[in-house]
A and B are shown apart, each in its own frame.
Chain A
Amino acid sequence: MKKYWRSIEELTDSTKVKKEELSYERANKKAMITGKSLDQFASTRRDFLKVFGYSIAGAAVVASCKKPVEKAIPYLVRPEEVTPGKASYYASTYFEENEYCSVLVKVRDGRPIKIEGNELSSITRQGTSARVQASVLSLYDTSRYKTPLFNGKATTWEKVDKVVPEKLDAVKASGGELALLTPTIISPTTRSVIDQFLAKYSNIKWIQYDAVSASGMLDANEANFGKRALPAYHLDKAKVIVSVEADFLGTWLNPTAFTKQYSSRRDPDLKDGMSRHYQIESMMTLTGSNADERFVIRPSEKGVVLLNLYNAIAKVHNAPTFQVTKSSFSVQNIANDLLANQGKSLVMCGSNDPADQVIVNAINFLLGNYGHTVDMNQTMNTKQGSDQEVAKLVAEINAQKIAGIIAVDVNPVYDFPEGDKLKKAISKLDLSIALAQAKNETAAVCELVLPLPHYLEDWNDSEPITGQFSLAQPAINSLFEGRSLGVCLNNWQGVKESYRDVVKKYWEKNIFPLQNKQKKFESFWIESLRNGVFDLESKSPKQPTFNIDSINQYARSIKKAKTEKFEVVLYEMTGKGNGASANNPWIMEMPDPVSKVSWDNFAAVSPKLAVQLGVKNEDLIDVNGMKLPVFIQPGQQENTISVALGFGRNYSGKVANGAGKNCYQLIQNKDGHRIYNLTANVKKVDGTYPLAMTQTHHNMEGREIVREAVLEEYKKKADAGNEAHAKHESHHVTLYDKPDFPAHHWAMAIDLNKCTGCGNCTIACQSENNVAVIGKEQVRNRRIMHWLRIDRYYSENPENPKTYHQPVMCQHCDNAPCENVCPVSATVHSNEGINQMAYNRCVGTRYCVNNCPYKVRRFNWFKYANNDKFDFNMNNDLGKMVLNPDVTIRSRGVVEKCSFCVQRIQEKKLDAKLDNRKVKDGEIQTACMQSCPADAIVFGDLNDKNSKISKLFEHPRNYHLLEELHTLPSVGYLTKIRNSKKA
């Protein structure tokens, strides 16, 4: 049998890993929050007597205590759309950095408590990402700015509206120049407001700034097509996908939409064929871990690889070829595959160097992909920042050539290289205004800080892809005094209008005339608002004109790969992004999908390099002057060290401050482009730094967990790789009666081929089920509370392994080992096939935890709610507003686990009863399934023979985890089928 492993240590010395695991179990200090040993807490005979005495007094109090009086306060005037106890859903739009998402906001009794995907969106199609899921918690962030601040002191908006225009006018009169620095703005209304504002203040220049930029790509497209924009991609139309250093499933441009498109092609039963995905990269990204074929290169080699690939294709197309050194592996196979699928293939590159991007454009052009899989007519607007402009502005600020800055929702002091220099320069400016939602490093040095609303509190619109609009509407009254940029700019020009009216007027004037389905604007507006999205009918895209000879100068600028010993890659971690939402405890505790490290960033090194440097996990190394803990990452290029951006905030909230190191300072400028891979000096230094690694938690002891096959085998034999299933099924003989499920038998199927391991489900589940955040120390103690974890396995060569992602939650076994051992019957089976957990019965013996072969049961070692030792979101009134009122908050000493979102099952069953009908297939959607961007999870009723789930359970790819144990799980997995040539 093929060996599957989860960490390098497990591969090389599994007995040692086992010992370590046991030592964790035995360590006394685990029981304490502060890490003190148990001896210090040992109780004496006196303590016993004290406790004894107090309990008698307690009993006496019991004999005379009264129930607290609780009030029931109805509405004064109940809004028509609100039914107390029932949720309402509002369509809205999330956009931050590389994440656009159309969402539905679940509002219970006036509080947004959960984000769901909007199925009507043609871009994200009901998918979300972990960051989108967690965004609802940022609404209740205690570090948000509550009022406008002038020099750190609270002031009022009236004063601001008086002072700011005066100042602006004064600067204008004196001939000074100002800068309006914003992130990429995709809201057409806000853009129009900014344009009006700039028309009045001609001395203000508007610059868009992306912390992680796509400027190189924009420049390349401007040069090639005369259009400074990003193309819209259609991965669902691509049969061959080649990605060079583009982590399009994790962090690149718009991963949620890409995942949706990508996974729709990952079905081996697809008639026109499953897609084949080549990934060429230097570090192990989420995308690389899903690739059919993965090649490891040095980061500086990507230009060479691309040019080789171009040459191979150009040869066939009689286009000019260029002299270039040979790449470290042969690209001929990839080129052949691309050539065989012209117009149905796609090449992408994550480089910020225009030269690389021009070559990619040339390849896609030669392959005829434009108009099919790449669209330059309807472009993507999510990144528009120009590196040169930003660099110029920063130079001007540093030289004090500019009078002032209005920084809106950007944080260059933190995320621009040489931020410290910028910090001093900004504080010296005559005028510095920051608009910020929560505490950040840039706002900290500005004279005037104005609170921005959270996106769930405000009106907005967006146009992420040309012609595809969406609206955002408030789902809650403003918690604080936040006011959006559009309203501020309007006010400063003397226009006092609610932003709803501004957006509505803009839509009436500019967007309503674009369509002719709705005759009246009011009905168009209401429909768009309800749907959250409005798409123009897309014209069939054409191949744009492209002068192939123009790539000359770019191709020549591509040099061969660096020969220095080390290179470092700076990347964004999936889910965590650029650090703007770092103060979100759900995001911080979510293990990185690949490394499974939470709470910190680290220097990822390859297993070979670790041996060379003589380091192991958690040892410190010095990378260009930055001391970072080592994490040994299989699949990492040997000479490459990768470090995540978005950590090391020092002026944020309690969660983000001090977590990890800020590596934006390592970024270098090359010809005005921020370059994210550079030469590195690396040496080992003394000391260690603890990392919260969850990769070896919840071990299933190396049994046959992952089953896989390659596509060719699968085509020949439907149960390829899954032969054991039939064998185990035949062994399921029992003397006991078959369990009876009279009405429903709930079950779930997970398609390992579609699942990309992005982690959306983990956070969706956390949000739905009030799962506690426990902090780094407790995660290190292997106590992470996530009901749904994603196991990640490797196989084969540690330098370039095959990777597998497997979501594991309670398997709801029909012959559950946990149920048999509970001494108090706190966990029993329901008549709908659910493994029930009654928290109030549980006495915390943890027998069930021990007896669960899937290790999915979680024990509440502490009281995580209302406990200041766990200073995250469940110990303050603001943070607790996010809790789902339909799910109990678990107390200390009880076991919890996945309930199949029983609250949702009950809700939909009740709806069916009230409507006098049966439950429809697909009507009940668990939290993990609802927003899965890969559509990898299916939930339904096995008693309904026509349901999707029943069919999947009959599928030859279906198997159950550890089915040889006769646990009869209600969760099925579909085997992983790779579309690669070699087995």
Chain B
Amino acid sequence: MYINLTNQRSKRAISLLSLLLLAFILLPNALHAAKGGKNSEDIKRGKRFFMGLLPKELNHESCVSCHALTPIDTLSWNPSALEIAKVVDAKTFDEFKSSLMAPVGKKMTEVHKNFEIEEADLKRIRLYLKDLNKNGLPPAKKTYYNLILFLFLGVIITLGLVDLIFTRKIKYPFVTLLVIGLALAYQLKMVSEEAIALGRSEGYAPDQPIKFSHKIHAGENNIDCKYCHNTVEQSKSAGIPSVNLCLNCHSLVREGANSGQFEINKIHTAVMNKESVEWIRIHKLPDHVFFSHAQHVGVAGLDCNKCHGDVENMHVLKQQEDLSMGWCVNCHRETNVNMEDNEYYESFKKQHDLIKQGKQKAFTADQLGSNDCMKCHY
């Protein structure tokens, strides 16, 4: 619209196009709304209220500006629209109204301070949220950039080959060859990079069902990792804390500084419904790898940060290392084993004697055989 349109014809064409475009955008929504039956009009209006399009004069933030239309809003502390919709579904209108207009929690009271919404609109918003809970978010479009690029390079290679063999439009064959070569090289680079990354997920930081922040718990509040992950010294698995462990603190701590009551309530809901929290697993080794936390933390006394990174500063937990075999093996080569404080290592008689005699300072894990295949693969 900011383009200066001089030509009448092109103006018309563009308005036609924009109409079509509008139809494309609105049609799915219209269809979506049509499914709702007689309430569809209310739902539609409810959605506009939620989006801040209605009423025309809004003296506070729109709903959507805090409650994003994503499954889980990892970028902010606020619950997403969908999460709210889940909670709203179980509430009567009066409950909904009071929780929205006169909330109990400190944080929510602060944010919902100046709300003036008419009762009819509140009903519509509620209907919209109920509909959202029922039908879910419109499906996110998948992106195929890598695939498109890969196929595009394939087309270039094919065209290049056709030209080279049959048409010969380009005079200098080395140009064609160069193009083919570069395209092929880039394709190979893509495949090899993806293949290496296959099954590895360095930097993986998925949305979790509860916005649990390690930064708040382990960083600001200084809770020891082993308080929650308490099987780390005895078992191969460090253990994801069971819900009752959360309650040790959260039976008293009912409201968080950042997320208010919403996230913490999820724990209590889980306990009430007797349904455990389904976390998304981040650190995962393939099935043919045996890794024991007990060996590394319980025996070797490694710091959790060594493998899991700076967890104390992560609001959203992510996988720090690539957890590849090369990474494991390297660490074994570099890390010395504390042989003196554990009687087990007296089994290594020769090595033990050398240390005692002062002939060698220490032995790395690798030198004691930790890089043998069947220490991890069986």
Contact = CB atoms under 8 A, between A and B. Distances in A.
A84 B239 contact: yes
29 contacts: A62-B191, A62-B194, A63-B147, A63-B191, A64-B146, A67-B199, A72-B280, A74-B240, A74-B241, A74-B277, A74-B279, A76-B274, A76-B275, A77-B243, A77-B244, A84-B235, A85-B237, A85-B239, A86-B231, A86-B234, A831-B372, A834-B374, A836-B374, A910-B299, A913-B344, A914-B298, A917-B344, A943-B347, A943-B349
A720 to B, nearest CB: 36
A330 interface: no
A113 to B, nearest CB: 15
B180 to A, nearest CB: 15
Interface residues of B, number: 66
B348 A70 contact: no
A74 B342 contact: no
A839 interface: yes
B265 interface: no
Nearest to A59: B191
A371 B168 CA distance: 106
Given A67-B201, A914-B294, A916-B342, A838 B284 contact: no
A887 B242 contact: no
Contacts of B240: 72, 74
Interface in B338-373: 341-344, 346-351, 368-369, 372-373
B352 to A, nearest CB: 9
A830 B191 contact: no
A763 B29 CA distance: 62
A334 B145 CA distance: 88
* Cβ-closest 6 pairs across A and B: A85-B237, A831-B369, A78-B242, A75-B242, A72-B281, A85-B235
A983 interface: no
A372 to B, nearest CB: 46
Contacts of A83: 231, 234-235, 239
Contacts of B18: none
Contacts of A59: 150, 191
B294 A742 contact: no
Interface string B260-289: 000000000011001111111100100110
Contact of B276 (A64, A74, A836, A916): A74
B295 interface: yes
B292 interface: yes
A919 interface: yes
Given A72-B279, A75-B276, A742 B290 contact: no
Contacts of A85: 231, 235-237, 239
B151 interface: yes
B368 A828 contact: no
Contacts of A943: 347, 349
Interface in B209-246: 231, 233-237, 239-245
B144 interface: yes
A838 B373 contact: yes
A912 interface: yes
A903 interface: yes
A100 B346 CA distance: 43
Interface string B319-352: 0000000000000000000000111101111110
A743 B372 CA distance: 14
B377 A839 contact: yes
Contact of B377 (A75, A77, A838): A838
A866 to B, nearest CB: 13
A743 B368 contact: yes
A26 interface: no
A830 B372 contact: yes
A841 B274 CA distance: 44
B347 A914 contact: no
B277 A919 contact: no
Contacts of B349: 742-743, 943
Interface of A: 56, 59-65, 67, 69-78, 83-86, 742-744, 828, 830-832, 834, 836-841, 886-889, 899, 902-903, 906, 909-910, 912-914, 916-919, 943
Contacts of A75: 242-243, 276
B346 A918 contact: yes
A820 to B, nearest CB: 16
B299 A914 contact: yes
B374 A902 contact: yes
Contacts of A63: 146-147, 150, 190-191, 194
A65 B190 CA distance: 12
B167 to A, nearest CB: 23
Contacts of B239: 74, 83-85
A67 to B, nearest CB: 6
A830 B344 contact: no
Given A64-B144, A84-B231, A916-B344, A910 B244 contact: no
Given A62-B198, A914-B299, A76 B243 contact: yes
Q: Among the interface residues A56, A743, A836, which one has the most CB atoms of the partner chain B within 10 A?
A: A743
Nearest to A905: B374
Contacts of B103: none
B342 A73 contact: no
B160 to A, nearest CB: 16
Given A74-B276, A85-B236, A838-B377, A742 B343 contact: no
Given A62-B194, A86-B234, A902-B378, A888 B287 contact: yes
A80 to B, nearest CB: 11
A743 to B, nearest CB: 4
A840 B240 CA distance: 29
A941 to B, nearest CB: 8
Contacts of A887: 378
A740 B90 CA distance: 69
Nearest to B350: A742
Contacts of A838: 373-374, 377
Contacts of A841: 373
B195 interface: yes
Given A86-B234, A899-B378, A60 B347 contact: no
B237 to A, nearest CB: 4
A831 to B, nearest CB: 4
A353 B329 CA distance: 69
A771 to B, nearest CB: 14
A72 B206 CA distance: 13
B198 A899 contact: no
A280 B12 CA distance: 109
B115 to A, nearest CB: 36
A73 B294 CA distance: 20
A836 B375 CA distance: 9
Interface string B129-148: 00000000000000011110
Given A64-B146, A918-B344, A830 B242 contact: no
A744 B195 CA distance: 39
A518 B300 CA distance: 43
A836 B241 contact: no
B245 to A, nearest CB: 8
Interface in B131-184: 144-147, 150-151, 154
A831 B288 CA distance: 21
A913 B301 CA distance: 12
A488 B271 CA distance: 35
Contacts of B369: 742-743, 830-832
Contacts of A828: 372-373
Nearest to B233: A914
B340 to A, nearest CB: 12
A62 B235 CA distance: 35
Given A64-B146, A914-B294, A918-B347, A74 B242 contact: yes
B346 to A, nearest CB: 6
A60 B147 contact: yes
A919 B345 CA distance: 10
Contacts of B351: 742
A910 B294 contact: yes
A838 B276 CA distance: 37
B158 to A, nearest CB: 11
Given A84-B231, A742-B350, A828-B372, 5 more contacts: A64-B146, A70-B281, A75-B243, A886-B290, A899-B378
